[in-house]
Amino acid sequence: MLSTRYASCIQACSACAIACETCAAACLEEQDLQMMRTCIQLDRDCADMCRLAEVLMLRDSALVDEFCRLCAVACQACAEECIKHGHDHCQQCAQACQHCADECQALAA
């Protein structure tokens, strides 16, 4: 069954996927849409990476460590973009991404 080793990382990935989906959807409604291009692109990749990371951990897949190493890269990139924007959804997303990057990095180490 579910390894307790993964518990906090699964939670971080789940929260990060939700934050990224929310941020991407909200960015698409913003006035300054031109400035949000990169944010939307990184949100989408990060959301999809986190969702698959979560699933692979739930399955205790042999790919978990390598996948989480790469997921940390996606989260870090998204955190660094989101932090630049003042919108609440971007700031919240930056925080979720940074936390998830740390969790994935720790797991992969």
Terminal Cα-to-Cα distance of the chain (whole angstroms): 22
Q: Tell me: does residue 67 bind a second copy (CB under 8 A).
A: yes
**Rounded Cα gap, residues 91 and 8, in angstroms:** 21
Q: Tell me: does residue 40 bind a second copy (CB under 8 A).
A: yes
**Rounded Cα gap, residues 100 and 80, in angstroms:** 13
DSSP per-residue letters across 33-86 = GGGGHHHHHHHHHHHHHHHHHHHHHHTT-TTHHHHHHHHHHHHHHHHHHHTT--
Task: Give the residue with the Cβ less far from a second copy, 23 or 98.
Answer: 23
Q: Tell me: does residue 6 bind a second copy (CB under 8 A).
A: no
Q: Is there a contact between 75 and 50 (Cβ–Cβ < 8 Å)?
A: yes
Q: Tell me: does residue 33 bind a second copy (CB under 8 A).
A: yes
Q: Tell me: does residue 14 bind a second copy (CB under 8 A).
A: yes
Shortest CB 69 distance to a second copy, Å = 9
Q: Tell me: does residue 109 bind a second copy (CB under 8 A).
A: no
Catalog residues that contact a second copy under the rule CB under 8 A: 1-2, 10, 14, 18, 21-22, 25-26, 28-29, 33-34, 37, 40-41, 44-45, 48-49, 51-52, 54-56, 58-63, 66-67, 70, 73-74, 77, 88-89
